Structure 1
Amino acid sequence: MRIGELARQTGMKPSAIRFYEASGLLPEGTRSTNGYREYGPAALERLQFIQLSQRLGFSLDSLRQAFAQGQGGRLPHDLVQAGLARRRAEIARMRAELDEQDAELQRLAAACNESWSVGECLDGSAYLATSPLSRPA
């Protein structure tokens, strides 16, 4: 299939496909006699895998490294599992950080309301001195 068909099936722009090709994430399409790029089903699968990986937060560099370690277009299963476990750990860390920030925002909103209810402005320096997030980890 030509790049336009591949773009239509993946929902990508042809320029994105060319970018993935140039950056080593997608093997180059073969050139037909008229100079058009031609791609097989493996290119479609690869691009769909790239889309899924990016949607899940994997970087292009991590994908490039994984593809470099694979053989015949296939990624080693242990490499995939390790990558998934690392990404889940990253998400857990981010979730914990976001939970801390949310709790801090709730405390700040309460402190603002308390100060404002007595006609005062919140003393930011006093609040920051008692804030759990302002202390070194």
Structure 2
Amino acid sequence: MRGMLSFNPTSKSSLSSMKIGELAQRTGMATSAIRFYEASGLLPPTERGSNGYRQYGEAALQRLQMIQLGQRLGFGLDQLRELFAASRDGLPHELVLQGLDERLARIDQLAADLARQRAETLELRERLASEWAAGRCFTLDASGEEKAA
């Protein structure tokens, strides 16, 4: 979270200018991913040096780290794009907290769904093991309900 909250898209680079290869190495991203994020508006366009190469600074590094964090937490690129669009002068804290609350609610729902699936799978496994151990076949009727055959 610290990376998200300390993000400042207008900060001047305290790092020397980096070419895309160095930025890729520092973030662990492929250069093609960095170019994609730039082309899709997630990473602001960067300046090019006199040699024509893109030159990236600390703001680009921070933005890419935010993208990585957001994706690890399950946020989609469209959600991140909305957040970045609203962050001209730093991150809007209320929007970040709202997004995190929504994500937590979704995670809770997914966890509940998985718990139900696990319980049903365990119950079916135990039933199958019992029926098969007794030498009985097991089928489902038209409604999807199981029945011993």
TM-score, scaled relative to structure 2: 0.82
CA distance in structure 1 between the aligned counterparts of 2:117 and 2:84, rounded to whole angstroms = 36
CA distance in structure 1 between the aligned counterparts of 2:142 and 2:131, rounded to whole angstroms = 12
Moved segments of 4+, more than 3 Å: none
> What is the CA distance between 1:128 and its match in structure 2?
3.0
Aligned residues: 129
- Identity among equivalent pairs (%): 53
Which stretch shifts more, 113-122 or 99-108? 113-122
The correspondence of residues 1-137 of structure 1 with structure 2, limited to 5 A, is 1-72=18-89, 74-125=90-141, 128-129=144-145
CA distance in structure 2 between the aligned counterparts of 1:106 and 1:42, rounded to whole angstroms = 49
The answer to which structure has the higher helix fraction is 1
- Matched to 1:69, the amino acid is A
> What is the CA distance between 1:126 and its match in structure 2?
7.6
- List gaps (5 residues or longer) in structure 1: 131-137
> What is the CA distance between 1:121 and its match in structure 2?
1.3
- Cα RMSD for the two superposed structures: 1.5
Q: Give the match's secondary structure for 2:96.
A: helix
Q: Could you give the per-residue CA deviations for residues 73-119 of structure 1, whole angstroms, max 9, x where no partner exists?
A: x2200000000000000000000000000000011011101211221
- List gaps (5 residues or longer) in structure 2: 1-17
CA distance in structure 1 between the aligned counterparts of 2:138 and 2:53, rounded to whole angstroms = 66
- Matched to 2:106, the amino acid is E
> What is the CA distance between 1:122 and its match in structure 2?
1.1
